[in-house]
Chain A
Amino acid sequence: MTATTMSAPARTAPPARRRKNRRRWVGWWFLAPFLAVFVFALAAPVIYAIYLSFFQDRLVGGNTFAGFNNYVAAFQDPKFWSAFGRVAMFFFVQVPIMLGLSTFAALALDSARLRFRSLFRITLFLPYAVPSVVAALMWGFIYGTDFGLVGNLNSYFGLDLPDPLSSDLVLAAMGNIATWAFLGYNMLILYSALRTVPKELYEAADIDGAGTFQVIRAIKLPAMRSAFVVALIFSVIGAFQLFNEPNVLRTLAPNTIATNFTPNMYAFNLSFAGQQFNYAAAIAIVMGIITMIVAYVVQVVGVRKDDQ
């Protein structure tokens, strides 16, 4: 506000205007380092992908402009939509379980009834520090019915556990890996929101004679709401971009994890095995837009609830 009132009189004085213009230029120079990184690292790859998606480079006939053909093909491609359906199902089943557990863990951490709180916190968070490829490899060994932990359990206890990598269970097996990896991360987001609740609120609740569960319902859960929306958005992105887990487990179960198991895997296989970079770019952009829409809806719905 002050800036506009100060520059208003300058409009009538020409020499001052030149000074103002120069001032604006200087501002851009300050922005330049950020802009350079932004343009080259963020905007350029997206623009290039969009550019690629409008062409078709074939093994015979070379590169031609394809207009929206790749997008039309993507919308009619059952392989793409089955992959999308799979990650959507993953999202609707895995994310509620994970966020429910994260909420429980955050409340437990905050309850002050927990011994060895910091140990508990670091232990739950630690899997997040394991690179996801390593995590998937490790779980791949655990899931092995001959060589792995499942196999050992079967032989020591005479059990007949089902193969976690069979087609019925493989998605659940991946959900388990993702829950293991991200539970602690989401717990920290929610827990940090709880830490910002002013003590006075709890004191007031105490004076009013509220019990533990009333405190959780009336104070803690509402306080976590905006953090919850953030965690949910991260989970939307994570679920829709599922790639490392299926791609690593695929070497162990090539017949149950198809090359179009998730949209990202489909795009990956299209470009690196089939050299269909253009179509893969279109798939990636469609998937990116869908992810943005879902994330936006989550945010709008979450914020609206916040206002109520």
Chain B
Amino acid sequence: MFVHSKKGTRRLTATLLGGSLAAVLALTGCASGGSGGAATAPEVVGTQADIDAALQEDTTLTFWAWGPQYQAVVDAFMAEYPKVKVELTNNGSNQTEYTKLQNVIKAGSGIPDVAQIEYTALPQFAFGDSLVDMNEYGVSSMEDLYTTAAWSQVNVNGGIYGLPQDTGPLAMFYRQDVFDQFGLTVPTTWDEYRAQAEKLQAADPSRFMAADAGEAALTNAMIWQAGGQPYASDGTDVTVDLQDEGSLRYADMWTPLVQNGLVDQTPSFTPEWTSGLAAGKYATWLGGAWAAGTLQRRIPEATGTWRVAPLPQYKAGDTASGEQGGSSSAVLNASENALAAIGFVQWMSSSEEANQIWVDNGGFPSTTATLGSENWLNAEIPYFGGQQINQVFAESADGVLPGWEFLPFQAYADSVFSDTVGQAYASKGELAEGLKAWQENIVDYGNSQGFTVNK
């Protein structure tokens, strides 16, 4: 088994090598061609051959991440490339890592070679010129290995600042036992979702269709599914429109659920929330595919009660989806071993072996190879009553709407979500008003930071 996957990896590296060389040639050809192409073609700093050579030299890479899967992936990498030593530092959580990363970048020392960075935060670090644009090393040839949504999220202003590790296509997790007990049907549209919510609340006022205290990550994902594209940036020109058609469509759909108390305002990942999930207080949980792993880890006692269904739609028969969460592996500009670091990231992100370890440990893949593999698709997960949940996720990944972007200062924007949209939740008011207040806050901040926002 081990030998087999090793061969697979070699083959993959070979394809990568060939593909990227072709791409580099194509790009240089375009540049020497003269006219306007030179402006868009990235400067070539290194080739795949340089990267492969660097992986055969004695190197030590430092790697910051918080995902529980990384240690196993790193160990496998070091077995494959014994000359490269990877020192993994687990910073506990995304926020702690970003704060630390900001601090070391500001200080100019102690910067790791590679870091796990979520898609939401990638533009911020890319914009600060802290990350290597891997386009300069010909990684654009890897595009076809990933889902469109994943690839578009590592692409910031035409540069490739990370390689996708996992994605979080949205799905609806629901309690089969609660649905059975109260005679609920699995909703396929948001209208049906609300009708089921009302039915549940009427039958038992202590139960809710979902828990939602108003959280930036989920709201962004839901706006994404509704077809909104509230954020756009081109260099320092930023547009924020949280009143666009999709944003308002989401706000109009979700407001009645909040106003009528059909969703419980308990913040996620608190003890109250966990006990509510375990007790069947919440009939559904709308979340990224990673939630499957979270449920299994957090409430193992609920085995057999949860199922997964596609996210309800605005129009019956649609398959629109969005993403919540998901992260990439990025190489820091300060790295003195950029070539080996990129090689490590390529292997971790795209090799069959790494992806196998990733999914075996409850991670959700971003490569089309893994997403399309029969083994993975047909896996029957006992926790979910033997349901083939990956098929639902793969379908959702297919339906993720294109064109979504995050702000180059999303971390700040998310931090003031509760001050603005959260107030609409607290007062059971109109979410659209909350989104407006959020937008004003974001625009003020962006302009005060030197961006040109909505001007």
Residues of A whose CB lies within 8 Å of any CB of B are 58-61, 141, 144, 146-148, 167, 251-256, 258-260, 269, 272-275
List, in ascending order, chain A residues with CB within 8 A of B414's CB: 273
- Asked, given contacts A60-B450, A146-B266, whether A255 binds B418 with beta carbons under 8 Å apart, the answer is yes
Segment at the A interface, from B143-151, B270-278, B314-322: B270-278
A252 contacts B415, CB within 8 Å? no
As a 0/1 sequence over residues 7 to 39 of chain B, the CB contacts with chain A under 8 angstroms (1 = contact) are 000000000000000000000000000000000
List, in ascending order, chain B residues with CB within 8 A of A60's CB: 236, 449-451
Check if B381 is an interface residue, CB within 8 A of chain A: no
- Distance in Å: Cβ of B22 to nearest Cβ of chain A: 37
- Asked, given contacts A59-B127, A255-B214, A272-B99, whether A144 binds B449 with beta carbons under 8 Å apart, the answer is no
Q: Please, how many angstroms separate the alpha-carbon atoms of A46 and B421 in the complex? A: 36
Q: Which of A141, A146, A251, A273 contacts B415 (CB 8 A)?
A: A273
Q: Please, how many angstroms separate the alpha-carbon atoms of A59 and B425 in the complex? A: 31
Pairs across A and B, CB under 8 Å, 11 listed: A58-B449, A59-B450, A59-B451, A141-B271, A167-B426, A251-B267, A255-B213, A255-B425, A258-B422, A273-B414, A275-B412
- Distance in Å: Cβ of A72 to nearest Cβ of chain B: 13
A274 contacts B425, CB within 8 Å? no
A273 contacts B412, CB within 8 Å? yes
B272 contacts A147, CB within 8 Å? yes
List, in ascending order, chain B residues with CB within 8 A of A269's CB: 415-416
Q: Please, how many angstroms separate the alpha-carbon atoms of A146 and B276 in the complex? A: 8
Q: Which of A58, A260, A274, A275 contacts B419 (CB 8 A)?
A: A260
Q: Please, how many angstroms separate the alpha-carbon atoms of A245 and B450 in the complex? A: 34
List, in ascending order, chain B residues with CB within 8 A of A146's CB: 266, 272, 275-276, 281
B415 contacts A259, CB within 8 Å? yes
A252 contacts B449, CB within 8 Å? no
B408 contacts A59, CB within 8 Å? yes
As a 0/1 sequence over residues 100 to 138 of chain B, the CB contacts with chain A under 8 angstroms (1 = contact) are 001000000000000000000000000110000000000
B451 contacts A254, CB within 8 Å? no
- Distance in Å: Cβ of A156 to nearest Cβ of chain B: 15
Q: Please, how many angstroms separate the alpha-carbon atoms of A262 and B55 in the complex? A: 51
Q: Which of B272, B412, B416, B450 contacts A252 (CB 8 A)?
A: B272
B267 contacts A252, CB within 8 Å? yes
Q: Please, how many angstroms separate the alpha-carbon atoms of A59 and B412 in the complex? A: 12
B272 contacts A144, CB within 8 Å? yes
Residues of B whose CB lies within 8 Å of any CB of A are 99, 102, 127-128, 213-214, 236, 265-267, 270-272, 275-276, 281, 408-409, 411-412, 414-416, 418-419, 422-423, 425-426, 445, 448-451
List, in ascending order, chain B residues with CB within 8 A of A275's CB: 102, 412
Known: A60-B449, A167-B426, A252-B272. 14 other contacts (CB 8 A): A58-B450, A59-B128, A61-B450, A146-B266, A146-B272, A147-B275, A254-B213, A254-B214, A254-B422, A258-B419, A269-B416, A273-B411, A274-B415, A274-B445
List, in ascending order, chain B residues with CB within 8 A of A256's CB: 426
- Distance in Å: Cβ of B405 to nearest Cβ of chain A: 17
A269's closest neighbor in chain B, by CB? B415
B99's closest neighbor in chain A, by CB? A272
List, in ascending order, chain B residues with CB within 8 A of A251's CB: 267, 270
B445's closest neighbor in chain A, by CB? A274
- Distance in Å: Cβ of B230 to nearest Cβ of chain A: 19
Q: Please, how many angstroms separate the alpha-carbon atoms of A148 and B270 in the complex? A: 12
A147 contacts B271, CB within 8 Å? yes
- Distance in Å: Cβ of A167 to nearest Cβ of chain B: 6
Q: Please, how many angstroms separate the alpha-carbon atoms of A87 and B55 in the complex? A: 57
Q: Please, how many angstroms separate the alpha-carbon atoms of A256 and B402 in the complex? A: 35
A252's closest neighbor in chain B, by CB? B270
A259 contacts B270, CB within 8 Å? no
- Distance in Å: Cβ of A203 to nearest Cβ of chain B: 58
Q: Please, how many angstroms separate the alpha-carbon atoms of A295 and B251 in the complex? A: 48
- Distance in Å: Cβ of A75 to nearest Cβ of chain B: 16
A166's closest neighbor in chain B, by CB? B426
- Asked, given contacts A59-B128, A60-B236, whether A255 binds B422 with beta carbons under 8 Å apart, the answer is yes
Q: Please, how many angstroms separate the alpha-carbon atoms of A256 and B422 in the complex? A: 8
Q: Please, how many angstroms separate the alpha-carbon atoms of A58 and B452 in the complex? A: 13
- Distance in Å: Cβ of B38 to nearest Cβ of chain A: 26
Q: Please, how many angstroms separate the alpha-carbon atoms of A112 and B112 in the complex? A: 64
Q: Please, how many angstroms separate the alpha-carbon atoms of A265 and B213 in the complex? A: 21
Most A Cβ at <10 Å: residue of B236, B412, B451: B412
List, in ascending order, chain A residues with CB within 8 A of B448's CB: 58
List, in ascending order, chain B residues with CB within 8 A of A167's CB: 426
- Distance in Å: Cβ of B335 to nearest Cβ of chain A: 22
- Distance in Å: Cβ of B15 to nearest Cβ of chain A: 39
- Distance in Å: Cβ of B52 to nearest Cβ of chain A: 36
Q: Please, how many angstroms separate the alpha-carbon atoms of A162 and B276 in the complex? A: 19
List, in ascending order, chain A residues with CB within 8 A of B99's CB: 272
List, in ascending order, chain B residues with CB within 8 A of A252's CB: 267, 270, 272
A141's closest neighbor in chain B, by CB? B271
A258's closest neighbor in chain B, by CB? B419
Q: Please, how many angstroms separate the alpha-carbon atoms of A260 and B426 in the complex? A: 16
A255 contacts B450, CB within 8 Å? no
Q: Which of A254, A255, A274 contacts B412 (CB 8 A)?
A: A274
A61's closest neighbor in chain B, by CB? B450
A254 contacts B267, CB within 8 Å? yes
